[in-house]
Amino acid sequence: MKPQAIIFDLDGVITDTAHLHFVAWRNVAAEVGIMIDEKFNAELKGISRMASLERILRHGGKDAAFDLAAREALARRKNALYVDSLAQLTPQSVLPGMTSLLHTLKAQGIKTGLASVSLNAPAILTALGLQSHFDFCADASRLQRSKPDPEIFLAACKGLKVEPARCIGIEDAQAGIEAINASGMLSVGIGVGLKQADLLLDNTEQLTWPRLQAFWDQQQRARASSH
């Protein structure tokens, strides 16, 4: 038996725009007198734009200095800088092995979904030349709750018309792994230091269909034996 669908996070799994996010946030933070570095930026991984801004303001001791309208203006400023930087993305920006995996999943008849909190996900997929490789992209603008809440992964399952228990979710952030687990899907983590992933891989080159198929079969056998 195969999984009904595989649902991917975008940043750190399909491509890596983390540095572009960092540069945009660093510039916006500097404009209001806050300094951030790459180490702090790692804490923003996998969370929404406004949640990231709140952490930055708190980090700089300025969380009481900006009302909602001012925060929204800062968030728009960051997004404008980030969107401008997306012009750097090309199909060569896809992480190793991912284009091949997406081709294989299509050939296997397995649905593919995207569960990214980025409001720019459609534009990023277009820049990467991958928009036709995904059967459904969850709309981040409709989310009420960000990861680690499972809402976005459940929305992707609903859009694909699949059952979470028969799907695999792939993430590179701890909040994302927790969201996948809470949704009832099996979780695959990419990178070091992640906890609670059902399968942990070092990088996307290790994310192949044979490995996912073996992982799926192993998990199904374990489930069957536990009943």
Which residue numbers are catalytic? Answer: 9, 11
Structure tokens at 8: 């991917």
Query: What are the φ/ψ torsions at residue 125 (nearest 5 degrees)?
Result: -60, -40
Distance CA 148, CA 46 (A): 9
For 72-88, the three-class secondary structure string (H helix, E strand, C coil) is HHHHHHHHHHHHHHHHH
Alpha-carbon span 204 to 94, nearest angstrom: 10
Return d(Cα 41, Cα 34) in angstroms, integer: 13
108: closest CA among 212, 215, 207? 212
φ/ψ of 89, rounded to 5, equals -80, 140
| Two structure tokens written together for 25 | 């946030």
How far apart, in whole angstroms, are the C-alpha atoms of residue 113 and residue 107? Answer: 15
Cis peptide before 148, with omega less than 30 degrees from 0? yes
- Distance, C-alpha 20 to centroid of its chain: 15
Q: Give 136's DSSP letter.
A: E
